[in-house]
A and B are shown apart, each in its own frame.
Chain A
């Protein structure tokens, strides 16, 4: 029986009065042993981050632990003084955060920030500290440790910054590492590297790791044991294989079965359907010559040629900065393409003036990533939904009647019309945004990372809704996503983008089964949890929502 480094018993943390529930976490009990990674999984608001903050003594002032015990190596830390906590943080327990850019001090070199940890907790000399800092930098696989020592955080990539955070957290060999969504802000290929780095360092140093995440793919990659939180209660804990393969709680089953499969679905489609949208050599360059300043031109999209047939879903997949959103926004004419053509049906829309473009606006509608920003907080749902149709001549009464119908179509009560966006959850808002787009009766619906900000179970609902809409209305969609799982489930054809260029383009089944491009292969290999078969739990086909799961035509490539 390995020694436990962290013991949490009956931990209860109160939320401020007037919140939607009384306790952020309620009666949570679990342990983390040395050399073990325990994943704390849950959807947003489940209390997983609060638990992590309680352990580190970093709770916001409004939240108070009401009861229970948190023991680090048999030392009670709920009652520990601030001075003692400072001694413990960094030396016995340390934390890495989701966003390394904000967790690092932007005006201090990376080397100095690690050095500070050593200077605070040890009596090493300057030279010894520098040697140790360079040592740990090399240990987290930073190839050019000398240069990075003197670099500022903004000069490094996101992955390198997270490595600096890990170096800082582990330099004193703490017994416990708390990682709060440390790879969520990273691209999938970087995420894979960081996960294996954490795993490796943790094994080497016998560190106990509490890993907070919402991503079951990550869980299956890294966890020894999994604890599932729901609305502040720990509902299930067990070995990863047990929980993922044979969850006892219905909630856990729902969560796991909501994870989209990497195996592409096979959907019948008409290869001879008329072409709805065709881009040819679409290019967008940012920067360049200005009246007062010169910027080096940035080719956000370069020579992108795509074709979408009616009733088809084209996915554009890529990591951040690949230009996938730029392409979508050029097609929606929210940004001006620098070069190339966009043919919508028989109309060339890339070069139309804004005045001439207006009649074509309604034909392409967009659903955005962040449901909290896509609705004007000061306008109620009715005003949001009737704006577009009324721009195109529908009268107010008809527009409102139709808005009500569409809301029911996306399964939101008609009474929502009189309410304001703040009264809805993220998933509901995304449904409203979809209804708003549908109110324009578009020919092409662009979903720009439309499900990326949603919890996995909500994501599943919204994906099911989009699929339903597609089937019933015969809508054509352009689906922008960074998530290969989502792409596999939604798209008929996929274009993989890297640095503004399409590196691979073809049928979804072909791309997942037999990727030709190295980058595509790297992307698919990096997808977390690609060996885990989340779909095995599925009782019904997903995301089709009806009947059986389509026969799998390919194995995932790895």
Chain B
């Protein structure tokens, strides 16, 4: 078959658009709640990274001389050589005389690490399983029953079990939070794949002899990414909350590591007298979760053409 072109004049009429992804991201970044949420999250990430230079002291340092100081109290320390330095407890000190400000700032590291790694693990594992389950009929039956089973296990119970087996630690906590999230992601991906696999462009790829793994990677997966990013932010927010809850219950990160949950757990007993040890980490948890959720909500609105504001 040879093609000879005899009509050089073309009827193409082109509209001025660029790459659709760039177009979408420009719209996403203009969305107000994406902008606000993302900047708060970015600020928190910076705080976590720059923790040592933000006027903090060793968050684990115990000093019985400064037990239960109120926020904002200033103390003059006289060194043995007579030199005097002043020290401000911005958020007070806890029952062991540790600086709450430093602990909260360092604590943001754990929260963000847990939030982001849980989101990455559960979405990527969930994406892989969901793609297979949605596209291959015979995988679907088996995988979805396993996922139903997983969803029946309470997350906190799983965490207690894992901590009992492997001991408390960051990896255990991340795993304990990520595993119960996976079935939710799988269900989302599977439902997306079930509609995408019926799209004519997928059928065209089948008719063009494209092998199934390539169809999944080229045609199906890229079209699930929008909802996946949104789901990822919600997973991240809930992981931060669950980590705080687990630490608060004493089954999360070991107590010597400052995390928001740990700080609140330790402040619990003297909560009525010195509320600041619970108040400040609590405010940080709330702001972080709120910011991540705002980011997710905004992304959902901006990525979903149906909710585009008129």
B65 on the A face (CB < 8 A): no
Interface members, chain A 61-83 (any B CB < 8 Å): 61-62
Q: Which of these binds chain A: B11-19, B41-49, B94-102, B148-156?
A: B11-19
A387-B223 contact in complex given A377-B20, A406-B3, A409-B5, C-beta closer than 8 Å: no
B306 on the A face (CB < 8 A): no
Shortest CB distance A349–B (Å): 13
Residues of B within 8 A of A461 (CB): 11
A379 on the B face (CB < 8 A): yes
Q: Nearest B residue to A474 by beta-carbon distance?
A: B1
B222 on the A face (CB < 8 A): yes
- What is the predominant secondary structure among interface residues of chain A facing chain B? loop
Determine whether the beta carbon of B201 is less than 8 Å from that of A412.
Answer: no
Most A CB within 10 A of own CB, among B19, B141, B208, B223: B208
Residues of B within 8 A of A365 (CB): 207-208
Q: Which of A368, A375, A412 contacts B12 (CB 8 A)?
A: A412
Determine whether the beta carbon of B204 is less than 8 Å from that of A378.
Answer: no
A422-B20 contact in complex given A405-B3, A408-B8, A409-B3, C-beta closer than 8 Å: yes
B206 on the A face (CB < 8 A): yes
Determine whether the beta carbon of B15 is less than 8 Å from that of A423.
Answer: yes
Residues of B within 8 A of A291 (CB): 141
Q: Nearest B residue to A62 by beta-carbon distance?
A: B310
A146 on the B face (CB < 8 A): no
Determine whether the beta carbon of B207 is less than 8 Å from that of A366.
Answer: yes
A376 on the B face (CB < 8 A): yes
- What is the predominant secondary structure among interface residues of chain B facing chain A? loop
Q: Contact mask B198-214 → A, CB, 8 Å, 1/0?
A: 01110111111111000
Size of the A side of the interface (Cβ < 8 Å), in residues, is: 53
Residues of B within 8 A of A368 (CB): 200, 203-204
Q: Which of A369, A388, A408 contacts B5 (CB 8 A)?
A: A408
A334 on the B face (CB < 8 A): yes
Q: Which of B17, B204, B207 contacts A420 (CB 8 A)?
A: B17
Report how far A292 CA is from B144 CA in the complex, Å: 13
Report how far A538 CA is from B163 CA in the complex, Å: 82
Determine whether the beta carbon of B203 is less than 8 Å from that of A420.
Answer: no
Q: Contact mask B177-212 → A, CB, 8 Å, 1/0?
A: 000000000000000000000011101111111110
Residues of B within 8 A of A334 (CB): 203, 206-207
Report how far A467 CA is from B15 CA in the complex, Å: 28
Residues of B within 8 A of A358 (CB): 209
A382 on the B face (CB < 8 A): no
Shortest CB distance A335–B (Å): 10
Q: Contact mask A390-418 → B, CB, 8 Å, 1/0?
A: 01100000000000011011011101100
Residues of B within 8 A of A229 (CB): none
Determine whether the beta carbon of A373 is less than 8 Å from that of B200.
Answer: yes
A20 on the B face (CB < 8 A): yes
Determine whether the beta carbon of A387 is less than 8 Å from that of B141.
Answer: no
Q: Which of B3, B7, B209 contacts A391 (CB 8 A)?
A: B209
Report how far A373 CA is from B207 CA in the complex, Å: 15
Shortest CB distance B138–A (Å): 10
A361 on the B face (CB < 8 A): yes
Report how far A388 CA is from B208 CA in the complex, Å: 5
B219 on the A face (CB < 8 A): yes
Q: Nearest A residue to B220 by beta-carbon distance?
A: A376
Shortest CB distance A199–B (Å): 37
Interface members, chain B 1-33 (any A CB < 8 Å): 1, 3, 5, 7-15, 17, 19-21
Residues of A within 8 A of B268 (CB): none
Most B CB within 10 A of own CB, among A62, A376, A408, A415: A376
Q: Contact mask A412-448 → B, CB, 8 Å, 1/0?
A: 1101100110111100100001001010110000000
Determine whether the beta carbon of B223 is less than 8 Å from that of A377.
Answer: yes
Determine whether the beta carbon of A376 is less than 8 Å from that of B219.
Answer: yes
B218 on the A face (CB < 8 A): yes
Report how far A378 CA is from B199 CA in the complex, Å: 13
Shortest CB distance A332–B (Å): 6
Size of the B side of the interface (Cβ < 8 Å), in residues, is: 34
Determine whether the beta carbon of A413 is less than 8 Å from that of B12.
Answer: yes
Q: Nearest B residue to A291 by beta-carbon distance?
A: B141
Determine whether the beta carbon of B11 is less than 8 Å from that of A376.
Answer: no
Residues of A within 8 A of B20 (CB): 377-378, 420, 422
Residues of B within 8 A of A408 (CB): 5, 7-8, 10
Shortest CB distance B218–A (Å): 7
Q: Which of A332, A423, A436 contacts B17 (CB 8 A)?
A: A423
Determine whether the beta carbon of A373 is less than 8 Å from that of B199.
Answer: yes
Residues of B within 8 A of A62 (CB): 310
A413-B10 contact in complex given A291-B141, A378-B222, A391-B208, C-beta closer than 8 Å: yes
A387-B17 contact in complex given A376-B223, A378-B222, A406-B3, C-beta closer than 8 Å: no
Report how far A377 CA is from B223 CA in the complex, Å: 8
Q: Nearest A residue to B199 by beta-carbon distance?
A: A373
Residues of A within 8 A of B222 (CB): 376, 378-379
Residues of B within 8 A of A412 (CB): 10-12
Residues of A within 8 A of B219 (CB): 376, 379
Residues of A within 8 A of B141 (CB): 291-292
Determine whether the beta carbon of A392 is less than 8 Å from that of B7.
Answer: no
Report how far A408 CA is from B223 CA in the complex, Å: 29
A374-B201 contact in complex given A358-B209, A388-B210, A423-B17, C-beta closer than 8 Å: yes
Q: Which of A20, A392, A428, A441 contacts B1 (CB 8 A)?
A: A441
Report how far A388 CA is from B207 CA in the complex, Å: 8
Interface members, chain A 334-380 (any B CB < 8 Å): 334, 358, 361-362, 364-366, 368-370, 373-379
Report how far A294 CA is from B17 CA in the complex, Å: 49
Residues of A within 8 A of B19 (CB): 420
Q: Nearest B residue to A405 by beta-carbon distance?
A: B3
A17 on the B face (CB < 8 A): no
Interface members, chain A 167-214 (any B CB < 8 Å): none
A3 on the B face (CB < 8 A): no
Determine whether the beta carbon of A366 is less than 8 Å from that of B204.
Answer: yes
Determine whether the beta carbon of B200 is less than 8 Å from that of A436.
Answer: no
Shortest CB distance B199–A (Å): 5
A296 on the B face (CB < 8 A): no
Residues of A within 8 A of B1 (CB): 438, 441, 473
A440-B208 contact in complex given A373-B200, A376-B201, A378-B223, C-beta closer than 8 Å: yes
Shortest CB distance B39–A (Å): 26
A423-B14 contact in complex given A376-B201, A409-B3, A433-B204, C-beta closer than 8 Å: yes
A60 on the B face (CB < 8 A): yes
Q: Nearest B residue to A448 by beta-carbon distance?
A: B200
Report how far A263 CA is from B300 CA in the complex, Å: 52
Residues of B within 8 A of A433 (CB): 204
Residues of B within 8 A of A20 (CB): 15
Determine whether the beta carbon of B13 is less than 8 Å from that of A425.
Answer: yes
Residues of A within 8 A of B205 (CB): 376, 387
Determine whether the beta carbon of B210 is less than 8 Å from that of A391.
Answer: yes
Q: Nearest A residue to B309 by beta-carbon distance?
A: A62
Determine whether the beta carbon of A411 is less than 8 Å from that of B206.
Answer: no
Report how far A366 CA is from B11 CA in the complex, Å: 23
The 8 A-B pairs at the shortest CB distance, nearest first, are namely A388-B208, A368-B200, A361-B209, A374-B200, A62-B310, A413-B12, A376-B201, A413-B10
A to B CB contacts below 8 Å, 25 in the list: A291-B141, A362-B208, A365-B207, A368-B203, A369-B200, A370-B200, A374-B201, A375-B201, A376-B205, A378-B21, A379-B218, A387-B205, A387-B208, A387-B210, A391-B208, A391-B211, A392-B209, A405-B5, A411-B7, A411-B10, A411-B11, A412-B12, A419-B14, A420-B20, A438-B1
Starting from the known contacts A334-B206, A428-B13, A461-B11, 9 additional A-B residue pairs (CB-CB under 8 Å) come to: A291-B141, A366-B203, A388-B209, A388-B210, A406-B3, A412-B11, A416-B12, A423-B14, A440-B208
